[in-house]
């Protein structure tokens, strides 16, 4: 979401990535996909800022079609989406882009849908001035949502009708991506501060120590990120038009670029087998007169 926080920076950088054969088109027009997630069968689920719909593509399909329609109450832009298959939940962040133009904006809503049929299961309002941007979950089904405007993480327990503030710290200004690591810690980034953090979690589930991690190389516009089944953290850098594989040595994050192309605002990643799927949001063309053309989730083959 860094491009929404700045003044129309065009993020088109040349380069070469190891691209697989078939990219997946997302919807038809004016989609501006911000996030994606995947399920064990290889399906891709993609949220849209532009249409407010959630799209789905079966493994091997070349088109992600509308699966969940736009909402009629509250903010309509869909940002982070996350599939929690163990608990039959697709979590989705709904937020108001007016917050970035100085307006009060509508309170963010965190919704969950059934992965089986897309039916609505719950809707929890996060409060005035919040901007729900991404989600991670724990085994018990609790959802943790990043609030970019407030630099805080909300928690929504299974069956809860209200969110609680799980963790808040001034260091988390412009909080965006978050993902639980194999060590049980919550990893987070700041899309404007270009920082990466680790928050330890106690045996009782309470937040522990927040550590800013040392980066082996600079990052620019860190956005959506997800740990893969290989224990590697994969990160989309919307300001560098690239995706990274990150491993850790103590408090050092070792960053390796695994995909780089002329993407306009790569904002999210998900790993399916040896393929990393990347959303290209094209935020530089949002709100302008230029036709943004078709939108895609791009495959990058991991070497």
- Stretch 42-71: mean pLDDT, rounded? 98
pLDDT for residue 126 is more than 90: yes
Q: What is the pLDDT at residue 8?
A: 34
Q: Tell me how far apart the alpha carbons of residues 110 and 45 are, in angstroms, rounded to a whole number.
A: 16
Average pLDDT over every residue of 290-295: 95
What pLDDT does residue 2 have?
46
**Alpha-carbon gap, residue 191 to 277, rounded angstroms:** 20
8 A C-beta contact, residue 235 and residue 244: yes
| Closest among 296, 146, 177 to 246, alpha carbons compared | 177
> Is pLDDT at 5 greater than 80 in this prediction?
no
Give the β-pairing of 89-95 and 296-301. Answer: unpaired
How sure is the predictor about 39, in pLDDT bands with cuts at 50, 70 and 90?
very high
The C-alpha atoms of residue 37 and residue 57 are separated, in whole angstroms, by 11
Average pLDDT over residues 29-37: 98
Averaged pLDDT for residues 274-280: 98
Nearest to 279 by CA among 199, 224, 212: 224
pLDDT band at 1 (very low <50, low <70, confident <90, very high): low
In sequence order, the β-bridge partners of residue 22 are none
Three-state SS annotation for the chain: CHHHHCCCCCCCCCCCCCECCCCEEECCCCCCEEEEEECCCCCEEEEECCCCCEEEECCCCCEEEEEECCCCCCCCEEEEEEEEHHHCEEEEEEECHHHHHCCCCCCEEEEEECCCCCCEEEEEEEECCCCEEEEEECCCCCEEEEECCCCEEEEECCCCCCCEEEEECHHHCCEEEEEECCCCCEEEEECCCCEEEEEEECCCCCEEEEEECEECCCCCCEEEEEECCCCCEEEEECCCCEEEEEEEECCEEEEEEEEECCCCCEEEEEEECCEEEEEECCHHHCCCCCCCCCCEEEEEECC
Using alpha carbons only, what angle is made at residue 230 by residues 229 and 234, rounded to the nearest 5 degrees?
Answer: 85
| Arithmetic mean of pLDDT, 74-94 | 98
Inform me whether the pLDDT recorded for 86 exceeds 80.
yes
176 vs 181: CA distance, rounded Å: 16
pLDDT at 17 over 50: no
**Polymer length of the chain:** 303
- When the pLDDT of each residue in the chain is averaged and rounded to a whole number, the result is 93
Q: How far is CA 195 from CA 37, 103, 172, 177, 253, in A?
A: 23, 27, 9, 11, 11
How far from the centroid of its chain's Cα atoms is residue 218's Cα? 20
Domains held by the chain: number: 1
Is residue 101 very low, low, confident or very high in pLDDT (cuts 50, 70, 90)?
A: confident
Q: What is the pLDDT of residue 303?
A: 85
Q: What is the extent of the structural domain holding 26? A: 2-301
d(CA 17, CA 263): 10
User: Which one, of 282, 276, 283, 277, lies nearest residue 295 by Cα?
Assistant: 282
Return the CATH number at 248: 2.120.10.30
* % of the chain with per-residue pLDDT over 70: 93
What would the mean pLDDT of 12-40 be, rounded to a whole number?
77
Taking residues 14-35, report their average pLDDT: 77
- pTM equals 0.93
Of 69, 45, 42, the residue nearest 56 (C-alpha): 45
Residue 103 has a pLDDT of 85
């Amino acid at each position: 979401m860094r491009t929404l926080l700045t003044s129309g920076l065009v993020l088109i950088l040349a380069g070469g990535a190891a691209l697989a054969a078939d990219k997946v088109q997302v919807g038809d027009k004016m989609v501006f996909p911000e996030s994606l997630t995947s399920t064990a069968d290889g399906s891709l689920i993609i949220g849209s800022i532009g249409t407010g719909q959630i799209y789905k593509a079966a493994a091997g399909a070349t088109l992600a079609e509308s699966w969940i329609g736009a909402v009629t109450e509250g903010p309509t832009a869909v940002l982070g989406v996350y599939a929690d298959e163990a608990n039959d939940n697709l979590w989705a962040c709904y937020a108001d882009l007016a917050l970035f133009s100085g307006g009060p904006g509508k309170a963010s809503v965190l919704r969950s849908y059934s992965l089986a049929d897309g039916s609505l299961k719950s809707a929890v309002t996060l409060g005035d001035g919040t901007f729900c941007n991404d989600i991670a979950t724990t085994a018990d089904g609790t959802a943790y949502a990043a609030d970019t405007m407030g630099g805080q993480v909300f928690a929504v327990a299974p069956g809860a009708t209200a969110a609680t503030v799980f963790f808040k710290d001034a260091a988390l200004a412009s909080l965006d991506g978050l993902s639980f690591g194999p060590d049980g810690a919550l990893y987070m980034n700041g899309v404007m501060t270009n920082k990466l953090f680790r928050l330890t979690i106690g045996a009782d589930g309470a937040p522990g120590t927040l550590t800013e991690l040392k980066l082996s190389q600079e990052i620019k516009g860190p956005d959506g990120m997800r740990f893969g089944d290989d224990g590697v953290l994969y990160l989309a850098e919307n300001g560098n038009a690239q995706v990274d594989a990150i491993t850790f040595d103590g408090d050092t994050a070792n960053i390796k670029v695994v995909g780089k192309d002329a993407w306009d605002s790569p904002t999210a990643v998900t790993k399916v087998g040896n393929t990393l799927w990347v959303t290209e949001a094209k935020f530089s063309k949002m709100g302008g007169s230029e036709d943004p053309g078709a939108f895609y989730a791009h495959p990058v083959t991991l070497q």
